Amino acid sequence: MAQREAVIPATTTRRLWTWFHRLASPRYFYELAGRLIPWFGWAAAVLLAAGLYGGLWLAPPDYQQGDAYRIIFIHVPAAWMSLFAYVAMAGAGFIGLVWRIKLAEVVARACAPLGASFTLLALCTGSLWGKPMWGAYWVWDARLTSELVLLFLYLGYIALDAAIEDRRKAARATSVLALVGVVDIPIIHYSVEWWHTLHQGPTVFKLGGPSISLDMLVPLLLMVVAFKLFFFAMMLVRARTEVLEREVNSAWVREVVGEP
């Protein structure tokens, strides 16, 4: 303890904790989120427009796939976000379970439908890309299959959340499920990959790799950042609404909503 205090002055630590506690207070979060959402939202919109313009107009067609590859500008960010949202959900759930911070439970719950949507988007774009590439909308490709299992995990989380009436209990139960899922997802991913190489041989070809051209990489990265900002904006919108719903009986909510 003495050592740590020597490195970080006690006042800084205390200030950090006060900030953390304030952040965990529903009203402070509600106001902070209200101020952050437009920033995240507009930044996401601008980057999305730039990324789409760069990806759909400026980037050259691929020498093998022609224009069909352009779906990666949606597909890859969506697939990354599908995993990111799950990890964020489990992380928030862990914080809620261990430190009993209600706000973390709210954030975890807000992640689930967004993550499920990103997963569905990745699946749909993946199968649309598969039609010209593999000649079929659905093949049991390793990544598509793990993505499908991930969608089931999200749906299970949402179903469990809907089945338990007591909000606190539902939040804690779903957090345990999300943590089990986080342990299992890498195992599922690698087992599916292993299953796939066993049965079908490697995929026809793989996107990415070090050979991706800069003209394609830049819009792709723009899209990745745009998706992430969009996720944060939407997550905050959902969390904000739920904070209102949970605190409906408190004075500040009535003040904010303008009810007598």
Partner 1 sequence: MSAGAPPGPLAAAAALVRRDLTLFFRRRAEVLNPLLFFVIVVTLVPLGVGPEAATLRAMAPGVVWVAALLAAMLSLEGIFRSDYDDGALEQLAISPQPLAVLVLAKVLAHWLVSGLPLVLLGPVLGASLFLPGRAMGALVLGLLLGTPVLSLIGAIGVALTVGVRRGGVLLSLLVLPLYVPVLIFGASAASNAAAGLDVSGPLALLGALLALALSLAPPAAAAALRISLG
Nearer to partner 1 among residue 26 and residue 96 (C-beta): 96
Contact call for residue 257 and partner 1 (CB under 8 A): no
- Both tokens of residue 250? 């408190």
CA–CA dist 233, 247 (Å, integer): 21
Q: What are the residue ranges of helices labelled H in 164-250?
A: 167-200, 214-246
Rounded to 5 degrees, φ, ψ at 62 are -75, 145
Contact call for residue 187 and partner 1 (CB under 8 A): yes
Which residues sit opposite 66 in a β-bridge?
62
Quick one: which of 155, 182, 218, 221 contacts partner 1 (CB under 8 A)?
Answer: 155
How many chain residues touch partner 1 (CB under 8 A)? 28
CA–CA dist 171, 83 (Å, integer): 20
Quick one: which of 149, 182, 225, 237 contacts partner 1 (CB under 8 A)?
Answer: 149
Which residues sit opposite 62 in a β-bridge?
66
The answer to whether residues 153 and 87 touch, using CB atoms and an 8 Å cutoff, is no
Q: Which of 208, 209, 232, 203 is nearest to 73 (CA)?
A: 208
Nearer to partner 1 among residue 29 and residue 157 (C-beta): 157
Residue with tokens 């050259």: 60
Contact call for residue 99 and partner 1 (CB under 8 A): no
Contact call for residue 92 and partner 1 (CB under 8 A): no
CA–CA dist 91, 19 (Å, integer): 20
The answer to whether residues 101 and 127 touch, using CB atoms and an 8 Å cutoff, is no
Interacting stretch for partner 1, rule CB under 8 A, among 77-85, 127-135, 149-157, 233-241?
Answer: 149-157
Q: Rg of the chain over CA atoms, in angstroms?
A: 22
Contact call for residue 201 and partner 1 (CB under 8 A): no
Contact call for residue 166 and partner 1 (CB under 8 A): yes
Nearer to partner 1 among residue 68 and residue 173 (C-beta): 173
Q: How far is the CB of 169 from partner 1 (least distance, A)?
A: 6
Contact call for residue 98 and partner 1 (CB under 8 A): no
For helices 214-246 and 102-134, give the axis angle rounded to 10 degrees.
Answer: 140
Contact call for residue 195 and partner 1 (CB under 8 A): yes
**Distance, C-alpha 118 to centroid of its chain:** 7
Contact call for residue 160 and partner 1 (CB under 8 A): yes
Quick one: which of 26, 91, 93, 181 contacts partner 1 (CB under 8 A)?
Answer: 181
Interacting stretch for partner 1, rule CB under 8 A, among 1-9, 73-81, 145-153, 211-219?
Answer: 145-153
Quick one: which of 36, 128, 133, 176 contacts partner 1 (CB under 8 A)?
Answer: 176
By CB under 8 A, name the binding residues for partner 1.
97, 149, 152-153, 155-156, 159-160, 163-164, 166, 169, 172-173, 176-177, 179-181, 183-184, 187-188, 191-192, 194-195, 198
